[in-house]
Structure 1
Amino acid sequence: MRNKLLLLSAILMFCASCQHRKTTQKEETVTGATYTNPLLENGAEPWAIFHEGKYYYTQGCEDRIQLWETDDISNLSNATIKEVWIPTDPSNSQHLWAPEIHRIDNKWYIYFTADDGNMDNHQIYVIENESASPMEGQFVMKGRIPTDKNNNWAIHASTFEHNGQRYMIWCGWQKRRIDIETQCIYIATMGNPWTLSSDRILISKPEYEWECQWVNPDGSKTAYPIHVNEAPQFIPSKNKDRLCIFYSASGSWTPYYCVGLLTADANADLLLPSSWKKSPNPVLQQQPDNRVYGPGGISFVPSPDGKEWYMLYHARKMPNDAPGASDSRSPRMQKIEWDKDGIPVLGIPDKDGVKYSLPSGTVHK
């Protein structure tokens, strides 16, 4: 009997030891292959491109453009950072919003918005770098991109190519603000990366209640009503038969800032307003239960092996920022899925600290 008890005890100890090793190994695997949001403590309007094994990331800044380089987009805090543009021209030296870096015809271009200190004078600019890496060489100013004959206010430029034609999409005013501001989404063809080759075409303007929120829950607000469609971002459907433009709506200082969606048939005339259909409801919005407010400013990046796609977005963990107050937004990243028609499904913004698996193909260091 004693021998049987000793044998049983040995077996139990062996099993416990195996279980401990399995648990420890699993915990180490989870710990070593995850990331959490936010990616950085502060930052809005996140954008990144993946090129030859590296991610190049930018975000909005007031007086300069910085570029992050990393092979792990979830680990921006340890990325290489370089200031690639500090303006010297007073007309475009302030409020450098929403920089986006693109690789076009073997050159690097960064599109951004800037003004002379008066935000009513915001315009779109583009800089160019001929080096193989955007972290090398120098960016030079190619100039302002006029968007209409009246030089209306314009921000948040993005660009994409479809069926051999390059397009620019952006946010602009239909006309100079008098007592109410309306920000709309426009599209135009491009003759080259710094020149439009068609008139601007309005494809979306604020019309639903969720696109027209400008007063915070605490009553703080801007000096006049501001209805917003801004920050357009292009991505094709999974099978390339539909084209999607995601955009941000309502005031960015409010918890109601959210993301809307425009879709068009891939064979449609993209300069025809009727080609674009707007979803009647937001596709990404605040989640008070998760303490995530005002999600928007999205862009899309692939995993290193191209098997997955992720959205970058900004949000805050407090309901709102008072207009003119310090910006409390921070950049985040979550994996997207696809619906039965191949349209991206953004999901809901999770609370800070949730562990996610690293994007497929990421080499954890």
Structure 2
Amino acid sequence: MKTTQENAGKKYELLCYTRKPEEDSIYSEKLAYSMHLALREDGGSFVPLNHNSGILYAKAVQREDGTLHAKSLKNPCLFEMADGTFGVIAERIETDGSDDESAKGKLLLFTSADLVRYQEKGLLDLGMGKTIEDAVCSYDKVNCVYLLKWKDIEGGCFSCRVSDLADEELRKAESCCLPAGETDIRDSFFSERKDCPEGGLPGNLLSVEEAVAERLKCRFLVPENIANEVPERVSVSSPEDLKEIKAAAKYSDGTSVEKRVDWYTKEVDFNHPGTYRITGRVHQDHYEFPVAWHRADPCIGKWEGKYYFIATNDFDNNHSLYIREADTIPGLITAQEIKILDTSMYPHLGNLLWAPEFHIIRDRLYIFHAGTPGEFEKEQCHVMALKKNGNPMKAGDWEMPLRVVKKDGSYLYGEEGITLDMTEFEVAGRYYAVWSQRQFKPVDQGAWLYMAELNQEEPWKLISDPVLLSMPEYGWANNHTFVDEGPFALITEKKIFLTFSSAAVDSTYVVGLLSADPEADLLDPKSWIKENYPLMSSRSKEGEYGTGHNSYIMDEDGLVWNAYHGKPGVDGPRSSGLRRVHFGADGYPVLDLTEEKDLAPGLTEVSMDVVVK
């Protein structure tokens, strides 16, 4: 892949930078000390990608006792590698911005094939033993070597040339001092600091090809509705035929989505053949945030033609679960709530009912949820089944919740910690459970995600050993606390997506993403790829903070909706929201498409000729 512009065509430049930390609840050091990217076209202004938030984060280091020591990065330098892919070098630092003593005299190296996904290759030892203050790297295509320059904490400036960025090459290389006075090792573009995105601390510029720029825009800029198209002329014989005519909503990322149209048919006489010019409005359900106050961890399920809503009840401090029922998803917003479980019904569930989810397994409806007989440190996963021919809206039609057990019959977790947020999904006839598990004894390791196969007949039983899927290793995942939780599957023809939530359940809560191929061995952790940045955060939509713990539901039009919770203000109550899931040009879910960009206000009306047969 080339990164230099050739002859005709637009010129694209990519700015690599970090940001100044803001107020801890808004944009803390753990978020600011990461690599950000901004794109410039033909010398124009820089457009920040990913809401001017981090795209590349340093991984935490795992201690001998299993706990994680969070790390960050500063002064990233983006460069082209010998094979046409990309590299990033940066200084690894502590999360508060101080020096990382374990990385003294070393640089953190990342590689990337597409500037979307990165692999952390580890620390490169420059052999000097002194803390690195700044470093840059470039590839000399003529001599086929990498030129590495760095500046240490004592002001010394050095350089070396190596054919490969590997420790053994660097150990053999001869480092030399730069000429006297050459203290600015980084390409200077200080005159352009005024164009740097808000809060940005510029690193370096890299020219990229149009294909690279377009891929970055598709992944890191929210698409916008740019047109809504309907056929110019259709033949119908009834109003029902007309309802089947949908609009193709076109988006700036090159994608298209079929949407229902509310046609105005008063001028059409279906009893008299003829041609009529009609108009319509592209349909869009409106969900003003929040759709349910004091409701967290929301889940919408569909059972026997009805939609059901359930969530953690923050209003009574998590001591009950209520269900809503409606014929449509919009109908759930104003539907009556019915209590189906509280902490007085069963002795083993005397406190803290959390994170309920609807799941259908072999034509039977279940609610997966967490509960405890007492304190938080005993919270565990449970499964509650609807009785045969039962009504979900009747508490008595639900069987007693059963605690999840391992394949040997013992409880999923003993006295050392907790389990919660269990979800399930089916692929090729096999059912899998994913949950969050936190060890407290002998040390608190934070919450990690685990996975196992489920017994289809008794889904509170696992039939395989749990495997570790994810740890909160990135700064956005361990902000204020080390937590990966709230997993939920979103399955398409080509990919299995598993979103999860991380960080503290406050304004820093975010949604991350794991993905795997459907034909892969899903119980092999190597089959799953984790993105280095969150898909949804407080920067996704102004005024919604700490968005996370989400789930998915498809409506009657085939559109997928994201049910999530957030805060209407930094210190607001956790409350539920709904937003349509868009699938980008690469097939990956877009969770930050707002209603205004989903359907442009000025493009809602469409018209066509209708021929009545």
TM-score by length of 1: 0.77
Question: Would you say 1:134 and 2:384 are equivalent positions?
Answer: no
Question: Would you say 1:232 and 2:487 are equivalent positions?
Answer: yes
Confirm or deny: 8 A CA contact 2:561 2:579 kept in the other structure.
Answer: yes
Cα distance in 1 for residues equivalent to 2:441 and 2:594 = 33
> What is the root-mean-square deviation in Å for CA atoms of aligned residues?
2.7
Confirm or deny: 8 A CA contact 1:97 1:113 kept in the other structure.
Answer: yes
Residues 60 and 114 (structure 1 numbering): CA distance in 2 closer, same or farther, change over 3 Å? same
2:465 to 174, 190, 199: 199
**1:58-97 CA distance string (max 9 Å, x none):** 0003122211101232343421322112343333221100
Matches within 5 A, 1:163-312: 163-173=428-438, 175-177=439-441, 180-191=444-455, 192-214=458-480, 226-237=481-492, 240-253=493-506, 255-287=507-539, 290-306=542-558, 308-312=559-563
Cα distance in 1 for residues equivalent to 2:540 and 2:501 = 18
Residues 179 and 194 (structure 1 numbering): CA distance in 2 closer, same or farther, change over 3 Å? closer
1:341 to 567, 586, 601: 586
**CA positional deviation for 1:179:** 5.5
SS at 1:91 equivalent: helix
**1:172-223 CA distance string (max 9 Å, x none):** 02x3245544101111001131211111111001100010111xxxxxxxxx
Question: Would you say 1:158 and 2:423 are equivalent positions?
Answer: yes
Question: Would you say 1:146 and 2:410 are equivalent positions?
Answer: no
Confirm or deny: 8 A CA contact 1:290 1:350 kept in the other structure.
Answer: no
1:168 corresponds to which letter in structure 2?
A
Query: Partner residue of 1:98?
Result: 355
Query: Partner residue of 2:565?
Result: 314
Cα distance in 1 for residues equivalent to 2:557 and 2:390 = 21
2:561 corresponds to which letter in structure 1?
Y
Runs (5+) with no aligned partner, structure 1: 1-21, 23-28, 215-225, 322-327, 357-365
Structure with more relative contact order (C-alpha pairs < 8 Å, separation 6 or more): 1
1:89 to 346, 351, 365: 346
Cα distance in 1 for residues equivalent to 2:591 and 2:497 = 13
Matches within 5 A, 1:3-14: none
Cα distance in 2 for residues equivalent to 1:67 and 1:227 = 31
**1:99-155 CA distance string (max 9 Å, x none):** 112222232211110112310101011111122542245111251003546464100
Confirm or deny: 8 A CA contact 2:287 2:578 kept in the other structure.
Answer: no
**CA positional deviation for 1:242:** 1.2
Query: Partner residue of 1:64?
Result: 320
1:333 corresponds to which letter in structure 2?
L
Question: Would you say 1:55 and 2:321 are equivalent positions?
Answer: no
Cα distance in 2 for residues equivalent to 1:100 and 1:271 = 22
Residues 84 and 77 (structure 1 numbering): CA distance in 2 closer, same or farther, change over 3 Å? same
Larger radius of gyration: 2
1:208 corresponds to which letter in structure 2?
Y
TM-score by length of 2: 0.47
Q: Number of aligned residue pairs: give it.
A: 306
What percentage of residue pairs aligned between the two structures are identical? Answer: 28
Residues 289 and 194 (structure 1 numbering): CA distance in 2 closer, same or farther, change over 3 Å? closer
Cα distance in 2 for residues equivalent to 1:78 and 1:100 = 20
Runs (5+) with no aligned partner, structure 2: 1-263, 265-280, 407-411, 602-613
Confirm or deny: 8 A CA contact 2:370 2:380 kept in the other structure.
Answer: yes
Cα distance in 1 for residues equivalent to 2:309 and 2:478 = 30
SS at 1:208 equivalent: coil
Query: Partner residue of 1:45?
Result: 297
**CA positional deviation for 1:31:** 11
Cα distance in 2 for residues equivalent to 1:51 and 1:187 = 26
**CA positional deviation for 1:315:** 0.5
